[in-house]
Amino acid sequence: MRHRLRFMRSPGGAIGVAIVLFVVAVAVFGPYLAPHDPTAPIGPDAAPPSSHAPLGTDELGRDVLSRLLNGGRSVIGLALLSTALAYAVGMSIGLVAGYSRSKVDPALMRTVDVMLAFPPLLFLLVLIAGAGTSIAVLVIGVAAIQAPAISRIVRTSTLEVSVRGYVEAAVARGERPIAVIRREIVPNILAPVLVDAGLRFTYSILIIASVNYLGLGLQPPSSDWALMVSENREYINLNVWAVIAPAAMIALLTIGVNMTGDAIARSLGRSYVPRPVETVPPS
């Protein structure tokens, strides 16, 4: 386990982990620390900071600090959920395509090409126009954007691993394909597949926050950092903190995750290129 944490020794890695832990702590414990109800007005609209409300009030007179402390769960939770879903779907497809070398293979590659030839945000907006705004559409849409690239990497790694001796030995022992995939292949492809996990998580945060900001994801009165930025944007000259504070929290989260991912990639001797969807290795 010790060597896995080597990346923490670099200053970037240590700072990145500290930032991520701080933001996650705010998201997890924040709701218990919030001084006011995040959805009830406590004073005048868009008032500057006071002793009653340290970060002022928002455009409906609600406490910005309380909303800030409540607004992290949705960003992190939805991004985690859609990234996990993307990995589950992408790995299943990639494993089947790579291990069976069946006709799924060319079809999969063409699908990936189509996904890469289409702006991801546009894909999500078209999906929302057709299916309406809901959390399910958001999570499934973001997972659908990321799954093809994951499946491609999984497929390539599976092709590589499945001709190795230990896999052939397992097949010769008469083990069923499911068992071979689970016991021999998956453990041996996890490292190259998961090295981009941080990137994909950042990307999920970016795109989910952007859709929430556009008002096409989570709906009011949810307290969500991205939604807070857009709700208070119009009143920025009345209480600048109602915009800056949630924007800064999102910034801390994505920068922290990126620094951690960068440090991990460096400790593994890999380069770290942000924005994962475009960084699909040629098949």
Partner 1 sequence: MTAVAERGRRVRETSPVLAFLGRRMLGALGAILVASLVIFLGTVVLPGDAASVVLGRNGTPQQVAALNHRLHLDKPAGTEYADWMSGLAHGDFGDSAVGLAQGETHAPVWPLISGPLKNSLILALVTALFMIPLSLFLGVLAAVNAGRPADHVISLGTLTGIALPEFVIGSLLVGVFFVGLNWLPPVALVPPGANPLDDPQKLVLPVMTLLLASLASGVRMVRAGMIEVLGTEYVQTARLNGLPERRVLYRYAMRNALAPSIQVLAQNLQWLIGGIIITESVFAYPGLGTTLVTAVGNRDVTVVRDIALLIAVAYILINLVADLIVMLLVPKLREPA
49 to each of 36, 58, 177, 238, how far by Cα in Å?
Answer: 15, 10, 63, 10
Q: Is 233 in the site for partner 1 (CB under 8 A)?
A: yes
Distance CA 81, CA 137 (A): 12
| Tokens 């397992």 -> residue | 170
Window contacting partner 1 (CB under 8 A); options: 18-26, 32-40, 155-163, 252-260: 252-260
The rounded distance, in Å, linking the Cα atoms of 203 and 145 is: 10
The binder of partner 1 chosen from 5, 25, 129, 191 (CB under 8 A) = 129
Q: Which stretch binds partner 1 (CB under 8 A): 38-46, 90-98, 166-174, 244-252?
A: 244-252
Residue 118 binds to partner 1 (criterion: CB under 8 A): yes
DSSP state of 238: T
Helices 11-33, 241-267: axis angle to 10 degrees equals 140
211-216, long-range: CB within 8 Å, 24+ apart, which pairs? Answer: 211/121, 211/124, 211/125, 211/128, 211/138, 212/74, 212/75, 216/125, 216/128, 216/133
Query: Which of 65, 247, 263, 264 is close enough to bind partner 1 by CB under 8 A?
Result: 247
Among 250, 263, 264, 265, binds partner 1 (CB under 8 A): 250
If one asks whether residue 125 binds partner 1 (CB under 8 A), the answer comes out as yes
Selected binder of partner 1 within 237, 269, 281, 282 (CB under 8 A): 237
Residue 123 interacts with partner 1 (CB under 8 A)? yes
Part of the chain binding partner 1 (CB under 8 A), chosen from 46-54, 120-128, 153-161, 172-180: 120-128
CA 144/CA 83 separation, integer angstroms? 10
- Judged by CB under 8 A, the residue of 88, 106, 221, 278 near partner 1 is 278
Do 150 and 199 form a contact (C-beta atoms < 8 A)?
no
Measured from the CB atom, the residue of 104 and 121 that comes closer to partner 1 is 121
**Contact (Cβ atoms closer than 8 angstroms) between residue 167 and residue 185:** yes
Interacting residues toward partner 1 by CB under 8 A:
114, 117-123, 125-133, 202, 205-206, 209-210, 213-216, 226, 229-230, 233, 236-237, 240, 243-244, 247-248, 250-251, 254-255, 257-258, 262, 273-275, 278
